[in-house]
């Protein structure tokens, strides 16, 4: 069974670990392909950093900092502090000493002409994540956030001037507290899906949207030309897990992102945002938490079959249980909708 997961960072990685656990005990062997978001990627002090690819790789490879959810365990930040002592900006980005080894290899390999796909495959030789990890694209496409100028600059008529901040600066330095007017994926128009991405979606037996950020993670992957159409047309069931429980994101700041695109921060709001495949959208089924059971009928009315389950991935067993709910929902869709 080929399962393809479109994933961001922390939430996506946690879900995939549960999925691995769920399928390892299944009868027919499954292979998992992860299409990773690269809209978070950034050049920092001359190094190419790919936060969501690294979070998947480290989490599945056993090197992740459990406390932070990103970067390496047993990490130190000596180089970051030395750079700060030189007064070199940016100082707000937590560049870890162990993490730098990954970025040095990636930067040197990219400069030597290897693609991000090739570099990611090479880095995964060490980490053995147990999945095929593909960047959404080998082309540069970075999320920028349009905000009112943080320094308060205004135009002659007094209206605030707007600035485009790199997503990482908005997310880390400003903790997503600056209201986002718009997200712009710079370069996406000329980006193409990395080799294998479209096939992984078209040839899948199941496509999953884990509880990653629907705007700046899964939404970013879907903006790469060809990806959303591949999801719409795949013969595989498409099952998603709500990242919003009880009107709030389980983790991260998806509410700040959803507000920027006028999507209600709710399990139903995100489902309707993705839309029902039966009506030209992306989803066949949507898994919501028991806390949001009241919104099941609204979701069903939109053409998306709704499954109510415990979606909090408090530990590996909970993540595996959630993954099993997705596998069952996929089977349910394939039998009913394709009857
Ligand atoms: N997130 C933070 O909140 N603070 C940081 O200093 C930080 C540094 C960092 C370094 C490498 C890396 O791979 C991820 C890092 N993250 C940090 C997480 C990063 O901002 C992610 O893009 C977000 O968590 C969204 O996925």
- Asked whether residue 338 carries a pLDDT value surpassing 50, the answer given is no
At 225, list the tokens: 């030309």
**What is d(CA 15, CA 189) in angstroms, rounded to the nearest whole number?**
30
Residue 152 domain-assigned (yes or no): yes
- Choose the residue to mutate in 15, 61, 67, 70 for probing ligand 1, maximizing ligand atoms within 8 Å of C-beta: 70
pLDDT digits (tens, 9 = 90+) for 278-307: 999 999 999 999 999 999 999 999 999 999
Same domain, 196 and 149: no
pTM above 0.75, yes or no: yes
Shared-domain flag, residues 219 and 272: yes
Same domain, 168 and 131: no
Check if the beta carbon of residue 120 is closer than 8 Å to that of residue 126. no
d(CA 3, CA 237): 10
- Ligand 1 atom 25 nearest Cα: 9
Q: What is the pLDDT of residue 335?
A: 63
Do 219 and 304 lie in one domain? The reply is yes
177 domain-assigned: yes
Q: Do residues 309 and 223 both lie within one domain?
A: yes
- Three-state secondary-structure class, residue 19: helix
Q: Which residue's CA is the closest to the ligand 1 atom numbered 1?
A: 172
Domain boundary among 119, 135, 151: 135
pLDDT at 34: 98
Under 8 Å between Cβ of 273 and 267: no
- pLDDT band at 252; cut points 50, 70, 90: confident
| pLDDT of the residue at 336 | 60
In this structure, the answer to whether residues 324 and 239 fall within a common structural domain is: yes
Instruction: Tell me the average pLDDT across 160-184.
Output: 96
Question: Are 218 and 318 contained in the same domain?
Answer: yes
Kindly state whether residue 3 falls inside one of the protein's structural domains.
Answer: no
Pocket test for ligand 1, best of 40, 51, 167 (most atoms within 8 A of CB): 51
Domain that holds residue 99: 40-135
3-state secondary structure 173-229: HCCCCCCCCEEEEECHHHCCECCCHHHHHHCCCEEEECCCCCCCCHHHHHHCCCHHH
Residue nearest atom 2 in ligand 1 by C-alpha distance: 172
**Domain check: are 153 and 211 in the same one?**
no
User: Which of these, 62, 66, 69, lies nearest to 8 by C-alpha position?
Assistant: 69
Ligand 1 centre and the CA of 172: distance in Å? 7
- How many CB atoms within 10 Å of residue 45? 15
Instruction: Give the residue from 120, 155, 186 where a domain finishes.
Output: 186
Total domains present in the chain: 3
Shared domain check, 238 and 318: yes
Residue percentage of the chain with pLDDT more than 90 = 95
In a domain, 275, yes or no: yes
Tokens 């691995």 found at:
20
Give residues (CB < 6 A) around ligand 1: 8-9, 40, 49, 51-52, 54, 70-71, 93-94, 99, 168, 171-172
Q: What is the pLDDT of residues 4-32, one digit of tens each?
A: 999 998 999 999 999 999 999 778 889 99
Regarding whether 212 and 324 lie in a shared domain, the answer is: yes
Of 135, 157, 175, the residue that ends a domain is 135
Residues 115 and 172 grouped into a single domain: no
In CATH, what number is assigned to the domain containing residue 54? 1.10.8.240
Residue 317 near residue 221 (C-beta atoms within 8 A): no
Cα 49 to ligand 1 centre (Å): 10
- Give the residue whose CA is nearest to atom 4 of ligand 1: 172
C-alpha–C-alpha distance, residues 41 and 52, integer Å: 8
CATH number reported for the structural domain that contains residue 282 in this entry: 3.40.50.10680
pLDDT reading at 328 higher than 50: yes
pLDDT at residue 273 greater than cutoff 50: yes
Closest-CA residue, ligand 1 atom 3, reads 172
Tell me: do 70 and 159 sit in the same domain.
no
């Amino acid at each position: 069974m080929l399962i393809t997961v479109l994933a961001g960072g922390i939430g996506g990685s946690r879900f995939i670990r549960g999925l691995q656990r769920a399928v390892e005990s299944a009868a027919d062997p499954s292979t998992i392909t992860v299409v990773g978001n690269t809209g978070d990627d950034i050049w920092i002090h001359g190094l190419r950093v790919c936060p969501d690819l690294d979070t998947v790789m480290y989490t599945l490879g056993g090197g992740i900092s459990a406390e932070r959810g990103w970067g390496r365990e047993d990490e130190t930040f000596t180089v970051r502090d030395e750079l700060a002592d030189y007064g070199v900006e940016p100082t707000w980005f937590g560049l870890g000493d162990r993490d730098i080894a990954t970025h040095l290899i990636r930067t040197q390999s990219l400069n030597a002409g290897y693609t991000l796909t090739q570099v990611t495959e090479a880095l995964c030789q060490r980490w053995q994540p147990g999945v095929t990890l593909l960047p959404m694209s080998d082309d540069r496409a970075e999320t920028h956030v349009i905000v009112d100028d943080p320094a308060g600059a205004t135009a002659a008529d007094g209206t605030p001037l707007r600035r485009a901040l790199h997503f990482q600066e908005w997310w880390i330095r400003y903790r997503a507290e600056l209201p986002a007017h718009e997200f712009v994926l710079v370069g996406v128009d000329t980006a193409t899906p990395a080799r294998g991405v479209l096939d992984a979606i078209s040839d899948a037996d199941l496509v999953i949207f884990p509880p990653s950020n629907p705007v700046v993670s899964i939404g970013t992957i879907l903006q790469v030309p060809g990806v959303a159409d591949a999801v719409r047309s795949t013969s595989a069931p498409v099952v998603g897990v709500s990242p919003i429980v009880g009107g709030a994101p389980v983790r991260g700041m998806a509410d700040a992102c959803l507000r920027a695109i006028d999507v209600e921060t709710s399990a139903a709001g995100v489902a309707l945002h993705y839309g029902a495949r039966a009506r030209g959208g992306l989803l066949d089924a949507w898994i919501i938490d028991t806390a949001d059971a009241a919104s099941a009928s609204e979701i069903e009315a939109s053409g998306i079959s709704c499954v109510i389950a415990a979606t909090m991935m408090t530990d590996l067993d909970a993540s595996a249980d959630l993954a099993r709910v997705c596998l069952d929902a996929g089977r349910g869709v394939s039998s009913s909708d394709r009857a």
